[in-house]
Amino acid sequence: MTKIDHRSLLAARMAKDFSQGRRSLLGAGAAAGALGLAGIGVGSAALVSDAHAQGQPVKRGGTIRLGWIDALDTLDPHYTSSLGSIKVINNVFNGLLKVTWDGKKVGFEPDLAEKWDAISDRVHVFRLRKGVKFHNGDPLNAEAVKWSVERVRDPANKSQHGYHYEDLSSVDVVDELTVRFTFSKPYAFLPVALTGSTGRAGTIVCRSAIEKLGRDYGRSPVGTGPFKFVSWRENDSIVLERNPDYFEKDLPYLDRVEIRLIREPSSGVAALLGGQVDGLSLVPFQFVPELRKSPNIALYGQVEGNYSYVGMNNRKGPFMDANLRRAVAFAIDRDVIVKQGYFGEAIPAFTPISPPMAPFYDPNIAKTTRGHRLDLKKAMEFRKKAADQGEVAPVYIVAEGFTGSGGSGTRISQLLAPMLAKIGVKPKVELSDRAAWLKRRNTGDFDMFDEAWIADLDPHETITPEWSTGRQWNFVGYSNPEFDKLVGEASDTLDTKRRVVLYNRAVDVLLDDAPLAMLAHMKVFKAFTKRVRGFQYVPVDLLNLHTVSLG
């Protein structure tokens, strides 16, 4: 199959671990159920952006210069784990479906697929758009889709996104433009898995280019998207240019995209305010107030599909004691975390389910008794039940520096210390660089840490691989068969109402065991100068440029 060798795969994954996050898959949310059994027709009509809709004539051409603050690993969609990379990839590649946002909820629309027919709850047939070509001229056909899906799915290729196709029995070419997916059981997450956007597993890559370039494909990608890859200068810049044969008629508007790779966030913000770049891929919380004040800057940012949390080691140390973990969960004042940790650009998290996961999120959760919240009385009760009644000093590992939308450096640990002191827990903070921190987290060498899972839209990706027994992101070693069973069942269920019930129960089990203490759901910001028109915000940390023009 591919000529990518073992070592390059390791290298690609290595890169992932040193970028800020990991995956950023997008959840199906509302659409999972809604689309599950229905055929979706040709859509994508109502995708006109604000500025364009207001009747201003769209100016074609021009070069947009963007400051990229977040780190990149590879531009091979099947191996990236960096949101910084995915934002670029999304302008070069397409999936069978794409994620859209109407201002209230996330949707899934056809992208390379023109039509989706669910023959049964396990068999799905996709009709592809006619005449789509890769940037090197290769045709996008059923064969290409099959090859691409099998590339992700083949365990030998070690794609970290392969798990999305665990239950896929076969992909078959029906005819030139028709492809059939057969699953061994119903798969509620399918719409998300098929997006090229944050799904990655669904991004369609170019076989001949991969066979020719091998591992260099990740440094000079060939896709079907609105922009063609031109160059990537290490530590300096990435350049894309307009794909004149892009399948969405008349798009994109821009001729060229210049991405400046910037390591120091404050330099990026200065460059934006000084007019040296037209936009930023990400805005750290501390700069948001400054940018809000500037009349020339448009900020895009909402509470996205994410949650930050304190992870507590279930395998060793003081937090093997569930009562101590529960005490921590109820001793945290989330309003303080939101105000001081995130400069007010977040909301308290009661559970891991965030607002964009529409049907699963309960907007009235604050009025219920579910989830984690500040309740010192309760915290003290749990503390009294804990085996160790003396002062506990857990090792709290902290990574230095800003790490994209998830990491907030030492801030959270500083805010937590006085809160936890009230219940006789005095964390010993150990600060290290990100790489060393990752190693400690991955090998379970900690008592506690704080982090965030970001850019998710479905419970299937926001709690399942993180807290199921033995899964690779379950760093705290949490294990509860009841939780495993509930999330497993929810994954095989297509009925949204039933999924809501199952996930609610799973979340309740999880939060009662408290391997994590919830913190917040955060906003994720992009910023542009007012010269930039037509940006379509999607709350999964995407920066799609196909509808963007320069005024």
Interacting residues with other proteins (CB under 8 A) = 6-8, 10-11, 13-18, 22, 67, 73-74, 158, 160, 215-216, 219, 232-237, 260-264, 266-268, 270-271, 273-276, 433-436, 438-439, 442-443, 472-473
Residue pair 195/111 in contact by the 8 Å Cβ criterion: yes
Q: Which is nearer to other proteins, 219 or 422 (CB)?
A: 219
Nearest to other proteins of 49, 266 (CB atom): 266
**3-state SS class at 77:** coil
- Residue identified by tokens 């991955």 is 442
Give the C-alpha separation, 362 to 98, whole Å: 25
DSSP letter for 495, please.
-
Strand 516-529 to 346-348 pairing:
antiparallel
CA 474 from chain centre, in angstroms, equals: 17
Closest contact distance (angstroms) between CB of 291 and other proteins is 12
Question: How near is the Cβ of 530 to other proteins at its closest, in Å?
Answer: 16
- Asked if 300 and 536 touch (Cβ cutoff 8 Å), the reply is no
Tell me whether residue 434 or residue 505 sits nearer to other proteins (CB atom). Answer: 434
Question: Checking DSSP bridges between strand 123-128 and strand 106-110, what pairing results, if any?
Answer: unpaired
Give the nearer residue to other proteins in terms of CB position, either 30 or 213. 213
Cβ proximity to other proteins, 215 vs 373, nearer residue: 215
Distances in whole angstroms, Cα of residue 276 to Cα of each of 67, 87, 528: 9, 20, 11
Q: How far is the CB of 309 from other proteins (least distance, A)?
A: 17
Tell the smallest beta-carbon distance from residue 15 to other proteins (Å).
5
CA distances from 107 to 121, 300, 357, 382, 534 (A): 20, 19, 11, 42, 19
Please, what is the minimum distance in Å from the beta carbon of residue 152 to other proteins? Answer: 15
Q: In the complex with other proteins, which residue's Cβ is closer, 215 or 546?
A: 215
Q: Among 500, 451, 490, which residue's Cα sits nearest to residue 468?
A: 490
Quick one: CA dihedral 502, 503, 506, 507, positive or negative?
negative
Q: Is 366 helix (H, G, I), strand (E, B) or coil?
A: helix
* Closer Cβ to other proteins, 441 or 533, answer by number: 441
3-state DSSP call for residue 113?
Answer: strand
Q: How far is the CB of 263 from other proteins (least distance, A)?
A: 5
- Count CA within 13 A, CB hemisphere, residue 376: 7
Nearest distance from C-beta of residue 401 to other proteins, angstroms: 9
Choose among 335, 504, 317: nearest CA to 392.
317
SS (HEC) of 344-377? CCEEECCCCCCCCCHHHCCCCHHHCCCCCCCCHH
Report the nearest approach of other proteins to the CB of residue 311 (Å): 14
Q: Between 165 and 253, whose beta carbon lies closer to other proteins?
A: 165
Cis before 355 (ω within 30):
no
Instruction: Decide: 409 and 402 in contact? Cβ < 8 Å.
Output: yes
Residue 146 or 164 with smaller CB distance to other proteins: 164
User: CB of 9: closest distance to other proteins in angstroms?
Assistant: 9
| Angle formed by the axes of helices 496-513 and 322-331, nearest 10° | 100
Q: Which is nearer to other proteins, 10 or 230 (CB)?
A: 10
Query: Smallest gap, in angstroms, from Cβ of residue 116 to other proteins?
Result: 32
